[in-house]
Amino acid sequence: MAVWARHVSRWCCLLNTARAVEFPWRLRSCGSTAQACREFSPLAVLPAGKEVDLWRLQAYRHVSVGSCSPPDSVKDGSFSSPESNLPSVQQEQANPKTLPDLNAKILDEDWDDIPPSSALEEISEEEAVQIIAEPILPLQSSTLRDYVDHSETLAKLVHLGVDLSQVEKRQKAGQLLLTLDFEKHIKKILLFLKDVGVEDNQLGPFLTKNPYILGEDLEALETRVAYLKSKKFGKSEIAQMVSRAPYLLLFSVERLDNRLGFFKNELGLSVKKTKNLVIRFPRLLTGKLEPVKENLQVCQIELGFQHNEIQQIVYKTPKILTASKKRLKQTFDYLHNIMGIPHHMLTRFPQVFNSKLLRIRERHMFLAFLGRAQYDPAQPSYISLDQLVSLPDEVFCTEIAKASMQDFENFLKTL
């Protein structure tokens, strides 16, 4: 009985091998049965070369999905003769079926992975109209306007009121803004400026004038503010100085200390007066010192003011230190040599140097025409230099010249 069972098993393996070659999807054997088939399969029916790999792939797929359990006849202990199996095999061989294309099957399995359409593929005009092209980010541009739509940082700065057309005129300011992240770099600087005292409506104009502060280290900025506080500058005074001189906080502590020491020593002012001077005109701390030194020499050597007179002039009108030398000399020449104003009177009213020379000339000539050009306080009908240059035209005509506005306009037409 055992001998007969081995013959049956060998015969089944031969049949299964033949079916695997001719009908690969019908292979269902696995485990020990598959092993037996491999041992007794005739080499003549096995594929060779590249076909071996294809045959192995097909066999692997069908074995993995097939049943590995023995047939029911083996379980029941009953066996049928090998001759009884032949008719069914011959019947199946009589009705051959077309073998499936393995490559097509693999493509079917990957049907969802459709490759993207080619850029060279032709499309209809309707499809072309529906395509929305994103604006191209220029690799190089002379204006920040081209980058606003691509940069969240620039868009938020514009919303704050920053004038990018002015910012891009400043050296390397545009490149700086394009490298900054609003949340990471800029937000903390804005909060710092508000804490210093810069108002919300001043942030835009402030950053327009000084965009470089956005790239400064926050700790360094806080150190500079702490220095000003150590010099007894109040919070409101610091806010006023920072707002009126946007570049102030870009200066290191050492540089700020040197500037304060320069004006204190050069002008011979007290600490209190030096503080008051830079509070009213903080640009003295941020501007160049060469024009300041030159104007001091002009006042002393060319205009003939004494050191104490220069001290009073500068303290009352600090802007004179940064004025044009040519304009300063022309104004002094007209006031002193044409109008006859002495040095001590100019020292009392130094704001006259901030007025336009044309305004001074027109009003003086009109008063001289009326016979009212009297600038000596010891004489009657005295007219101070402050009244001469500071009052509006209507008030000047009615209260100082004792004439009408029409008379003044008619006189100016004769000049």
Task: Measure the CA–CA gap between 242 and 263, rounded to whole angstroms.
Answer: 19
Higher pLDDT, 41 or 355: 355
The torsion of the CA quartet 348, 349, 353, 356, rounded to 10 degrees, works out to -160
What residue type is 338 in one-letter code? I
Least confident of 128-142, 294-308, 353-367: 128-142
205 is a domain residue:
yes
Per-residue pLDDT tens over the stretch 178-214: 889 999 999 999 999 999 999 999 999 999 999 999 9
182 is a domain residue:
yes
Task: Measure the CA–CA gap between 413 and 108, rounded to whole angstroms.
Answer: 98
∠168-173-177 over CA atoms, to 5°?
100
171 is a domain residue:
yes
- Our count of domains for the chain comes to 1
Q: Is the pTM of this model over 0.85?
A: no
Which residues are within 8 A (CB) of 262 and not within 5 positions of it... i.e. 6 or more apart? 289
What is the predicted pLDDT for the residue at 72?
A: 46
User: What's the whole-number mean pLDDT along residues 259-271?
Assistant: 93
Structure tokens at 51: 């076909």
Higher pLDDT, 274 or 140: 274
324 is a domain residue:
no
222 is a domain residue:
no
Structural domain including 162 reads 144-215
341 is a domain residue:
no
Q: How confident is the model at residue 27 (pLDDT cuts 50, 70, 90)?
A: very low
Task: Measure the CA–CA gap between 381 and 384, rounded to whole angstroms.
Answer: 10
340 is a domain residue:
no
180 is a domain residue:
yes
